[in-house]
Amino acid sequence: MNTSRILRTTNVVLLLMGYQRHWFEKTSHRFRLSLPSVVYIFVLGVVYTACFSQHFDKSSSTLKVLKDISPFLFGLIRVQLALGAKAFAYAIYSSVKSVGAINSLLKALPSRNSQFTQDEASAYLLLTSTFGILFCFAAYIAYEMKFELPPLPDAMLGMALLLPHFILAGSVRLYTVLSWLSRGQLKELKKNAEEELRANLTKDPGNIASAIFTVSTEGLENLKTKLEILEANFCIFAQSLKHSMLFLFAMHANCLLGGFYTLTYYWNTWYVLFEDRKRRIFYAANASIYAFIASDYICLMVVLFMMENERRNFIEAIDLLLAQRKLFSKKLRPIAKDLRGVLKKKCFKFGGPFQPNIIYVSLMVCLQIIIVTLIVTVHYLEDEISLLKEEFSSTDDN
């Protein structure tokens, strides 16, 4: 797996998304501030400001119709707009703040000029999965629209809501890719540790005494140092991105609420406003919300599962060798236990206020779905009760 090649590809993707203002230098194996990237972000900021201001254009017929049809959905869009403005500003701050932690982590991820492997292909898949989904939905919607561009004011309204979400999603891409690379390094260290420990197993119990004086601990000490550096730097990196990811999950929750709300009301009343072609466009646009969010969560959970699995395998391998007491040198046993201790630290177990592990993310997603369902159900029942009251009132008047 070629780490530099993966990082360069990640860098290009994040630059296009607008999340990163740095350029990855292959020679120094670190990110440095790039003037063209800063200019690009400035232009992107000007475009976003213009799109943002479109939401406060009182002459916008789209916003008037939306407000008349559903004040609640109009309010959700305002919330998403406010979250987006904060997310756009925080993404710029987060990118600059986290680059130091990223460069520190890269020191523990040495560049390799090896052949293309399955792990490298998986890294690219994790990085570009959302873009593949985006392309498919965009192509289908464009086909249904007969490849005609929407009115510029409406496109600007949508861009103001999508752009900050798209930019901040770079934090998940960055976290996912660097976690995947850290998993690869952990796998390599496990392999080296097993080889080092097995090499120092004595096959003759009678020669244990002499083996104790001839065994070398330099290799294991070096491995322990590398593992400690990886653990410490990964912990700092994870902490530097945790607020960005929490911010993005909050935007996800609001998007899920808006998507589920519009789908519920469309099934019951709004479908009469759409013709067949527009109905298909609506379904595709609504489905894209869930697909994008699911893609983020699935990629994140796959990486977390794989890294946790690698950590457990590492611990089990050490425990298995330590269990062979009669064949294992007492001089190496404390170092092997130290390796196990590093692997059991909170960072490799994803501890802290934000715990991006399988259970945490699953509970968070379930909680989001439950809250969204309750809000939409309560709102829908309130509207139905209001309609019944109006019908009773009109019946009494007659």
Residue 1 amino acid letter = M
At 25 the three-state DSSP class reads: strand
Name beta bridge partners: 126: none
How much is the pLDDT for 355?
Answer: 52
CA–CA separation, 245 and 175 (whole Å): 9
Residue 216 amino acid letter = S
Name beta bridge partners: 33: 22
Q: Contact at 8 Å (CB) between 175 and 299?
A: no
How much is the pLDDT for 142?
Answer: 92
Q: What is the largest CA-CA distance in the chain?
A: 107
DSSP H helical segments within 200-329, as ranges? 208-214, 218-268, 276-322
Q: Quick count: other Cβ atoms within 10 Å of Cβ 195?
A: 12
From the list 254, 256, 235, 96, the residue with the least C-alpha distance to 179 is 235
- Radius of gyration for the chain, computed over Cα atoms and rounded to the nearest angstrom: 27
Q: Contact at 8 Å (CB) between 222 and 338?
A: no
Residue 363 amino acid letter = L
Two tokens, residue 40? 């690009």
Query: Averaged in consecutive runs of 10 residues, what is the pLDDT profile of the chain (398 residues)?
Result: 89 89 87 89 93 91 88 90 90 86 89 78 90 89 89 92 89 91 90 80 49 57 88 87 85 90 87 84 90 88 88 86 69 81 70 55 78 83 76 66
What DSSP string runs through 127-187? Answer: HHHHHHHHHHHHHHHHHHTTTPPPPHHHHHHHHHHHHHHHHHHHHHHHHHHHHHHHHHHHH
How much is the pLDDT for 211?
Answer: 42
Two tokens, residue 152? 């510029």
CA–CA separation, 88 and 330 (whole Å): 56
Q: Which residues contact 57 (CB under 8 A, 6 or more apart)?
A: 63, 153
Two tokens, residue 247? 């911010």
- The residue with tokens 């322990």 is 224
Local structure of residue 109 (DSSP, 8 states): S
How much is the pLDDT for 212?
Answer: 42
**Torsion angle of the four alpha carbons 101, 102, 103, 104, in this order, in degrees rounded to the nearest 10:** 50
Q: Contact at 8 Å (CB) between 238 and 356?
A: yes
Two tokens, residue 144? 């249904």
How much is the pLDDT for 140?
Answer: 93
Number of domains in the chain: 1
In which domain, by residue range, is 267 found?
Answer: 3-109+118-397
Two tokens, residue 21? 């203002």
CA–CA separation, 279 and 273 (whole Å): 9
From the list 37, 130, 134, 91, the residue with the least C-alpha distance to 248 is 91
